[in-house]
A and B are shown apart, each in its own frame.
Chain A
Amino acid sequence: MTPFELMEPATLAEALALLDPDDPDVRPIAGGTALMLMMKSGLYRPQRLVSLRALGPGLTSIAATPDGGLEIGAMVRLAEIERSDAVRRAAPVIADTLLTHSNVRVRNVATIGGNLAHGDPHMDLPPVLIALGASVRAVGPGGERDIPVEALLTGYMATVLGNNELITALVVPPQTGRKAAYAKVTARSADDWPALGVAVSVGSADVRVAIGAATETALRLPQTEALLAGRRLDDKLLREAGRCAAAEAPVVGDLHGSASYKRVLVEVHLRRALQKALAA
């Protein structure tokens, strides 16, 4: 790693002022687990890092909202979310997903805001949060805005966030009457980044389907959702949905497997994720 300047502002306003909209060599750092990997490999050589660790308690709490949803501060560690009773009650699929996300040490350090802002397609949470209809609250010089997670991620390691814009919270809407499941598929060793992640959320009249890891970025599969909407989810339809998703998903081949094999995984694991959600 090459030397850089480390700033540790005490307020969000100070942090925003230290970021530079036009200089990619200035970045915020939260837990830093992903950023450290990029810096150690020489992929990223920052001039300045702005630490978000001292921004105060506003960003570090998990709150159940009165309507049954969740509001999770951006600086909350993944391990806290994994162990949170509020999360377990409102959206158990999030806690279940975190159990196999990276490892204990990373979850002890990585934050939810950093995890989402990183934009890495091989992460488990984005498809889950997309299926749950979650959004992030972001703040920049122009003020605050809410961004659905599915709109946050725009491509490989790319988001809509400006260089001087920070995620402050994750907002998960109430999941009343819905059942969700996530299928993590690893293709090499058991402890690996997913070759494919499939998340589904089944409501009374609709099904949300999102996939990640096998694609350039996590995304929804609208054709598959349309096929499932309002219909009885019998075995025949689930199989059809699997085929539809395999055809619809823009999968890419990589070291985890070829694109044609990943389409097979999409077909099988979408069906299984739906079965798991229905059984929940």
Chain B
Amino acid sequence: MSEAKIATGSQIGRSLPRVEARAKVTGRAEYIHNLRLPGMLHAKIHRSTVPHARIRSIDTSAAKAMPGVHSVVIGDDILAVIPDPYFGPAFHDQPILALGKVRFAGEPVAVVLAEDPKIAEAAAQTISVDYEELPAVYDEVEAMTSTAYVHDELKPAGMFADLKHLAGKRDTNVALDYHLRLGDVDKAFAEADHVFEHTFRTPQQMHTPLEPHVAVADATDAQVTVHSSTQTPSTVRVEIARLLGLPENRVRVRTAFLGGGFGAKVYVKLEALAVALSLIARRPVKVALTMEEQFFTISKHGSTFRIKSAVSKDGRLTARYCEVIYNGGAYADIGPRVAQKSGFSAAGPYDIPNVAIDSYETYTNRPTAGALRGFGCPQLVWAYESHADLIARALGLDPVEFRRKNLLKDGLPQATGTVLRDTATEAVLDRVVQRIGWGQPFDRGSGTIRRGRGIAIGMKASISPTTSVATIAVAADGGATLYCGTVDMGQGSTTALAQIAAQALGIEAEAVRVVAPDTDMTPYDMGTLGSRSTFHMGNAVRRAAEEVEAKLAAMAAEAGVPAGTNLPIAEIFRRKYGMQAGTVVGSGSFVPDYVSPDHATGLTPNATPYWMTGGSGAEVEVDTETGRVRVLRLVNVADAGTPINPRIVETQLTGAAVMQLGFTMSEEMVFTDGQLRNPSFADYKIPGIRDMPGLMTGESVAARQESGPYGAKGVGETGTFAVSPAIANAIHDAVCVRITELPITAEAVYRALRHAAGDPLPED
């Protein structure tokens, strides 16, 4: 018999290899991508070819006539099984298949079902739709005033109290407006020694998880099962149950390892469609997207950020105004949350007495935007840290000194009024400065090759309100099984949560098995998003383990074991039951405190259970003849609290920075008249191994989040925050030009150089 060992050392701070490492290197890790069910049909989607139109008619006759086609489904057919087929976490605005209208080019309009996916695909291409085109709006700034409306009427989901005022609103493309007012901004600007104003933009971009979205539904009237590559099994269950009018316990959502998520797979994506198709066909149905189709499913918000700061003679920020407009695309998804949550921290990690923030989520006739690793925050840091360097340069101040002078330190209230607790902003900035060698001489290049350095720092609120529940069952051999809804999409949560449970139970992490999320077994968790699992679920797991510990102690006492005796768990079971038998179950839940922001002022004493801080330093080389930028060094530093698994934390940090390097240097969804021109890796270029800087580091500073499990806090997004402005600031340092729009392509830099030389390059 193999019994769980009593831990010989702390399970916290152990760089244990991922528990699923062997399965991943042998190709045997489970992904829903691999799933086949007996009798399963494959669905292939026909998508709209126009960005905004009324549907006059849909001709599916050729598809239906094709040999091997099971059936063809359009929006009207969905109504038979789901009478009100609109879904979405913030607004119930998205139809499962287009009904009456299409709102972006690429929207699902019809589906072909067949046993052979190639036949379904060929048939889907024969479907033709007669459209009456409507005026469209694509740009987020234009959407604020355009009379081309994407939706006739706003339909908030009711889940979020702060969206209620938008119910039934017409003639607007604004899906959410968040406003923060602290102090007297107008007065401060009027009295300011210096005022600076700049506008920064980011393009629409895409997560491109390498495992494309997939959902397999097996639905009958009595029971609905969905196997999905989802980051949020519990919330998908709630939404599917709502759509079907079923109790939650009749809907089962399960997942496996995810081949990447990055926010693309939160909330309902394909699950409602798969369920509807399975109910119609009365067979299991698999909806598996291609890489190309993912671009029409979810994306990262493009944004326009107008930022204005008042600064005193001695370089103190006295006021800041932020107007952030996010391009949310055709459906709200979680976009309104992005606009609000990021709005909290739009003014940056600075101690500014007077702050005004207006943050808007807009509808446009583009593919939908939602959450992407940072939830709006990287767009904000891009702007406020580029702005910070411009101010410092204009005032002749060292960019690091300017930041130090204004940095929000632990214990001070952030713009919302929420006080920073256990937030290592100063340590992060200090370490970035040290790691990049700020202030030390370096080879600045000569001739047509110039080098420069830049730094940046950003901060983000975590998620609240939100709930996590965990259950731990300990078997009679002392091994523990952890049941929780946290999805491992590569961030290493399975390993980290096993370590937390093991630490609380006093056993080795290897003795904890973590089951894959399955709502039939695993209790509710809001979702694996916003860097929340280590902190929120980690706390729930710790509480569950503590309940188990208490029960085991009671059991030992009952069996007459003197208190303080360090018996192996298996021995306690043997004493109690006389043999290897029994189970002890403990559960724990975690709901952080939260105070909803005041609607008028946006202020709240408790916006977030903790803050994440990330800083980056970059050294770049610019070829002034072509504008080509090489990032030579990219150092990334985070406040991760006390890392549970330092190796995995480090890998998350460098990985996030690599991803943001792509968003900084090359990634952009390019549109012409609402048509996406580059929905594939052929023309949407993510970073490859030859794009890596010569030096690429990720590290966390010594820190401790007292409210977190064993001092830990979330870290999945932190590595993204400061990469883009650090690089732009380094380019400015190298060649004295300022890039204000991502991506920083060679052409963009070259154009800026020519502009600065008074000889702008013709547009075409």
Contact = CB atoms under 8 A, between A and B. Distances in A.
Interface of A: 1-2, 42, 185, 187-193, 253, 255, 257-261, 264-265, 268-269
B144 interface: no
Nearest to A262: B747
B127 to A, nearest CB: 13
8 contacts: A190-B690, A191-B688, A192-B685, A255-B683, A257-B745, A257-B747, A258-B763, A264-B750
Interface in B636-679: 662, 665-666, 670, 677-678
B745 A268 contact: no
Contacts of B665: 189
A190 B688 contact: yes
Contacts of A193: 682
Given A1-B118, A258-B764, A264-B761, A189 B626 contact: no
B764 A264 contact: no
A188 B762 contact: no
Interface in B725-764: 745-747, 750-751, 761-764
Contacts of A189: 662, 665-666, 685-688, 690-691
Interface in B65-80: none
Contacts of A187: 745-747
Contacts of A260: 761-764
Contacts of B750: 261, 264
A158 B233 CA distance: 51
Contacts of A2: 118, 122
Contacts of A265: 626
Nearest to A189: B685
Residue from B665, B666, B678 having most chain A Cβ neighbours under 10 A: B666
A100 to B, nearest CB: 9
B3 interface: no
Interface in B171-193: none
Given A191-B688, A191-B690, A261 B670 contact: no
Contact of B761 (A1, A191, A261): A261
A189 B692 CA distance: 10
A83 B750 CA distance: 37
B204 to A, nearest CB: 15
Nearest to B292: A41
Given A261-B750, A261-B751, A265-B626, 12 more contacts: A1-B118, A2-B122, A42-B125, A187-B747, A188-B745, A189-B666, A189-B688, A255-B670, A255-B677, A258-B747, A260-B762, A269-B626
B764 A253 contact: yes
Given A188-B666, A189-B688, A255-B683, A268 B764 contact: no
Interface of B: 118, 122, 125, 625-626, 662, 665-666, 670, 677-678, 682-683, 685-688, 690-691, 745-747, 750-751, 761-764
Nearest to A37: B682
Interface centre among B125, B662, B745, B747 (most CB of A within 10 A): B747
Contacts of B763: 258, 260
A259 B747 CA distance: 11
B489 to A, nearest CB: 23
A209 B36 CA distance: 55
Contacts of B751: 261
Consensus secondary structure, chain B interface: loop
Contacts of B678: 255
Contacts of B625: 264, 268
A138 B551 CA distance: 83
Contacts, number: 56
Contacts of B682: 193
Interface on chain A toward B: helix, strand, loop, or mixed SS?
loop
B691 A190 contact: yes
Contacts of B685: 188-189, 192
Nearest to A255: B683
A261 B691 CA distance: 22
B203 to A, nearest CB: 13
B320 to A, nearest CB: 34
A193 B681 CA distance: 11
A227 B751 CA distance: 29
A256 to B, nearest CB: 9
A265 B747 CA distance: 10
A264 B747 CA distance: 10
Contacts of B666: 188-189
Contacts of B691: 189-191
Contact of A259 (B626, B746, B764): B764
Contacts of A185: 626
B748 to A, nearest CB: 10
A255 B626 CA distance: 17
B710 to A, nearest CB: 39
A1 B122 CA distance: 8
A176 B678 CA distance: 44
Nearest to B686: A189
B626 A264 contact: yes
Contacts of B688: 189-191
A262 B148 CA distance: 37
Nearest to A268: B625
Contacts of B125: 42
A257 B665 CA distance: 14
B751 to A, nearest CB: 8
Contacts of B690: 189-191
B733 to A, nearest CB: 23
A269 B746 CA distance: 14
B162 to A, nearest CB: 40
A253 B764 CA distance: 7
A186 B94 CA distance: 39
A15 B733 CA distance: 62
A261 B762 CA distance: 8
Contacts of A268: 625-626
Nearest to B670: A255
A115 B691 CA distance: 26
A261 B747 contact: yes
Most buried by B among A192, A259, A269: A192
A232 B301 CA distance: 55
A193 B122 CA distance: 29
Nearest to B125: A42
B678 to A, nearest CB: 6
Closest 5 interchain pairs by CB?
Answer: A190-B690, A189-B685, A188-B685, A191-B688, A188-B666
Task: Give the residue among A2, A189, A255, A257 with the most B Cβ atoms within 10 A.
Answer: A189
Contacts of B626: 185, 264-265, 268-269
A162 to B, nearest CB: 29
Contacts of B747: 187, 257-258, 261
Contacts of A253: 764
B467 to A, nearest CB: 41
Nearest to A190: B690
A124 to B, nearest CB: 15
A4 B451 CA distance: 55
Contacts of A255: 670, 677-678, 683
**Centre residue among A190, A253, A257 by max chain B CB count within 10 A:** A190
A268 B125 CA distance: 45
B243 to A, nearest CB: 33
A192 B763 CA distance: 23
B354 to A, nearest CB: 42
A1 B687 CA distance: 29
B45 to A, nearest CB: 14
A190 B628 CA distance: 11
Contacts of A257: 745-747
Contacts of A259: 764
A278 B687 CA distance: 33
A2, A192, A261 interface centre (most CB from chain B within 10 Å): A261
A257 B686 CA distance: 17
A258 B751 CA distance: 11
A90 to B, nearest CB: 28
